[in-house]
Structure 1
Amino acid sequence: MKHSLVFVATTPFAVNAFLLTHLLALAKTHEVTLCVNTTTYPLAEEVARAVRVRHIDIARKISPWQDLHALFQLLRCFREIRPATVHSLTPKAGLLAMLAGWLTGVPLRFHTFTGQVWATRTGFGRSLLKGIDRLITLCASQVFADSASQCRFLEEEAVVRRGGISVLGQGSVAGVDLARFRPDPVARAALRAETGVADVEPVFLFVGRLVRDKGVFDLVEAFAALSVKHEQWELWVVGPDEEGLQAALQADGERLGARIRWFGPTLVPERYMAAADVFVLPSYREGFGSVIIEAAACGIPSIAYRIDGVIDAIVDGHTGLFVDKGNVQGISDAMNRLGAEISTRKTLGEAAHLRASNKFSSASVSSAWLDFYSSVLWGEA
């Protein structure tokens, strides 16, 4: 018997990053529908071929009329499909999907938290967004997080009851595709030749959305401090400019004399990871930091702020280095250390690769998802 499963996400960016392997695996034995705003970012072709895609006008930011329209779209979709389960990812998609699922009587309603947008907020904004997460939990049959530390955080903040949230597998939503993300000397040589960067010169890499919470201004400032002494060292920034920050970031970098390349969004982040030496993520909030595990699988260590979620992705001093949140000088010092100490970054990179391969392969995480869905759907059959 094929069950009808619906997954809801705000943008294809999240689908490509977190759901791709799970959707492909589940689509082999179930009827899978993906509800997502298809206008915001390219959806991976293999997903578009494997599942039914429904465009839903979900906005990332609060937009009452558009949000109401998206809710009605989901209500119509769920009434038409009558799915056995609906599973949401990302905050806005979670709110709309869990409400629509509850209103239409979808038997099993799941949501996965991947970091809290309110974690860095204060005042009314924090209370409002936190209240939305509580509403998601109330409307859901079961909720998950992508790391153990995120579970603890959500319990401590009373978003979920004690013991009311869990992690599928070892952590992370997607794990890492070891066939894609791996040390690749050929790809490294090709991109280094294309950019004209000598193999001996360290390249620091950021991959992610250009948003303030990712610490992108901290990153530019920290790297600029290194450029005074190390003019040939480079920082590569890869990712979509979702908040329109790139112009200001570029201006800061140029004013400070930093050697930064801006590559924009990509569907092949592994190409840049294979060519880089150190991954840097000075994020102020993360669910897990899956991109850190992807970089680790490519054999490069990471530098990051010590925050919930990321503390599950890096073993300090073994697969990367932690810096206290907001310590820009600390990020700069850590970058200086790994840029200069080739043997240290090689040792950390090898350990990171081994840990990513052993604990966070996409195959193992997808297996945990498949086991979970088999258990709940068998119980519903």
Structure 2
Amino acid sequence: MRILHVLNHAQDVGNGIVNAAVDLACWQAQAGLEVAIISSGGEYESLMKQYRIRHFTLKIPRSPLDVIKFARAFREITQIFLPDVVHAHMVRGVISAKTLRGNSDYVLVSTVHNEWQFHASLMGIADRVIAVSRSVARSMQHRGIPLQKLHIVANGTIGSPRRPPLDHVKPLPLQHPAITTVAGLYPRKGIRDLLEAFVQVADESPAAHLYLVGNGPHRAAFERQAQQSAHSGRIHFEGFQTEPQRYLLSTDIFVLASRQEPFGLALSEAREAGCAIVASNVDGIPEVLEGGNAGQLVRSGDVKALSQALLGLLRCRKDLESWKHRAQTNLDWLRVERVHQETLEVYQAAIAEMTRTVCA
């Protein structure tokens, strides 16, 4: 089977869509499938070479002239690689693959990550649509995507080719108790809520420190918010880190305070690292935390509930250790290998249906 993935870029910048797609492509190549990626390029190109994944550099169009050039180049790539499956992970990719398919006989598969974006419905023009959580699948159904097109393939990060195994990672010497989030610094990630909650936590727990691992366009605003706190010296903006596991392995409590979250790859990583977890009860998060069995769930946007959950863990070491253990229980379903196998089944079903249609 020949598989062509379509991405905006291949940069190692903490983009969950890119990370999940690169993980999948590497596992497919490792399984003996012929894999190629179209993207504007980035740091993951070296990983692609390691896994013998062919990379076609194609920049996303910014003008009408660019669109024409993109269309011509995309058509040429499909004629050169002759994919059985084109797997698009972004809207421009699925539109291009659909409109430029012509006489090509590939099946088109899309994966929906950020279903909250207004244009996510366009991902439904693919022959098969993969949702990364049950929450995303429900949303796509409400947007009119036929149920027979939809498949749920939950994300997973364990066994990622992008990162070294945990036993090869050296934990950072964080100050304890350490509360950490790994997230883009965007409003939808609930960073403002987390900063407000930490002020309440810090009032009662004078040794607690907060580490924010990630970057984003709103970082300056969040830093100003932190500086206005009496506890600003215990709030650390660490920026984007290529190995967030160094933080997670030294973290006592991992927090994901998102207001919108289709899945949350960082939760999978935090579970593997054995962090006690507190996260918003929104979208796909409860699925990653198995309904609250693997981490505490609080109402999204409820600063008081978030601070109380954090304080409860800090007050009772026994509870903290119990939640760390619960996070690391039942992890097999979060492996990239499972994502690969379930995605392959989607491909095979789509190809079989196309074959039946052609032969009918």
User: Which TM-score applies when normalising by structure 2?
Assistant: 0.84
**Equivalent-residue separation in structure 1 for 2:319 and 2:276 (angstroms):** 10
* Residue 7 of structure 1, CA deviation: 0.3
User: Partner residue of 1:46?
Assistant: 47
Residue correspondences, number? 345
1:86 and 1:106 in contact (8 A); partners too: no
**Equivalent-residue separation in structure 2 for 1:92 and 1:342 (angstroms):** 49
Question: Larger deviation: 211-220 or 5-14?
Answer: 5-14
Aligned to 2:224, which of 251, 262, 279? 251
Question: Larger deviation: 211-220 or 225-234?
Answer: 225-234
1:181 and 1:297 in contact (8 A); partners too: no
User: Partner residue of 1:83?
Assistant: 83
Aligned to 1:22, which of 18, 21, 24? 24
* Residue 58 of structure 1, CA deviation: 3.0
**Equivalent-residue separation in structure 2 for 1:218 and 1:70 (angstroms):** 44
Cα distance change, pair 66–52 in 1 and its aligned pair in 2 (3 A)? farther
User: Partner residue of 1:141?
Assistant: 127
* Residue 369 of structure 1, CA deviation: 2.8
User: Partner residue of 1:124?
Assistant: none
User: Partner residue of 2:145?
Assistant: 160
**Equivalent-residue separation in structure 2 for 1:19 and 1:116 (angstroms):** 16
1:211 and 1:245 in contact (8 A); partners too: yes
* Residue 145 of structure 1, CA deviation: 0.4
- Secondary structure at the aligned position of 2:4 is classed as strand
**Equivalent-residue separation in structure 2 for 1:223 and 1:231 (angstroms):** 11
Q: How large is the RMSD of aligned CA atoms in angstroms?
A: 3.0
* Residue 253 of structure 1, CA deviation: 0.7
* Residue 66 of structure 1, CA deviation: 8.7
User: Partner residue of 1:270?
Assistant: 245
- Secondary structure at the aligned position of 1:110 is classed as strand
**Equivalent-residue separation in structure 1 for 2:177 and 2:339 (angstroms):** 32
Unaligned runs of 5+ residues in structure 1 are 119-128
**Equivalent-residue separation in structure 1 for 2:3 and 2:349 (angstroms):** 14
1:328-361, CA deviations, whole angstroms, 9 ceiling, x for partnerless residues?
A: 22222212222222221211221221122x3222
1:51-105, CA deviations, whole angstroms, 9 ceiling, x for partnerless residues?
A: 122223238xxx66598368424344334433221101244544444444x4564
Cα distance change, pair 98–284 in 1 and its aligned pair in 2 (3 A)? farther
2:166 and 2:245 in contact (8 A); partners too: no
Cα distance change, pair 213–68 in 1 and its aligned pair in 2 (3 A)? farther
Cα distance change, pair 297–96 in 1 and its aligned pair in 2 (3 A)? same
**Equivalent-residue separation in structure 1 for 2:186 and 2:265 (angstroms):** 17
Residue 71 of structure 2 corresponds to residue 74 of structure 1:
no
1:154-213, CA deviations, whole angstroms, 9 ceiling, x for partnerless residues?
A: 21x233123431113xx22x442289688769833xx11xx5x2xxx2211111222221
Q: In the TM superposition, what are the counterparts of 1:196-215 in structure 2 within 5 Å?
A: 197=175, 201-215=176-190
* Residue 288 of structure 1, CA deviation: 1.4
User: Partner residue of 1:35?
Assistant: 38
Letter in 2 for 1:253: A
1:292 and 1:313 in contact (8 A); partners too: yes
**Equivalent-residue separation in structure 2 for 1:71 and 1:84 (angstroms):** 21
2:115 and 2:139 in contact (8 A); partners too: no
**Equivalent-residue separation in structure 2 for 1:264 and 1:66 (angstroms):** 36
User: Partner residue of 1:176?
Assistant: 158
* Residue 296 of structure 1, CA deviation: 0.7
Q: In the TM superposition, what are the counterparts of 1:343-358 in structure 2 within 5 Å?
A: 343-356=318-331, 358=332
Q: Percent identity?
A: 20
* Residue 144 of structure 1, CA deviation: 0.9
User: Partner residue of 1:9?
Assistant: 7
Q: In the TM superposition, what are the counterparts of 1:211-230 in structure 2 within 5 Å?
A: 211-230=186-205
**Equivalent-residue separation in structure 1 for 2:127 and 2:275 (angstroms):** 39
Cα distance change, pair 332–74 in 1 and its aligned pair in 2 (3 A)? farther
Cα distance change, pair 104–339 in 1 and its aligned pair in 2 (3 A)? farther
**Equivalent-residue separation in structure 1 for 2:169 and 2:8 (angstroms):** 35
- Secondary structure at the aligned position of 2:228 is classed as helix
Question: Larger deviation: 76-85 or 216-225?
Answer: 76-85
* Residue 143 of structure 1, CA deviation: 0.4
1:108-156, CA deviations, whole angstroms, 9 ceiling, x for partnerless residues?
A: 00001113233xxxxxxxxxx2xx3333212x1100101122212221x
Letter in 2 for 1:252: Q
Residue 207 of structure 2 corresponds to residue 232 of structure 1:
yes
User: Partner residue of 1:150?
Assistant: 136
User: Which TM-score applies when normalising by structure 1?
Assistant: 0.80
Cα distance change, pair 321–93 in 1 and its aligned pair in 2 (3 A)? farther
User: Partner residue of 1:365?
Assistant: 339
Cα distance change, pair 30–359 in 1 and its aligned pair in 2 (3 A)? closer
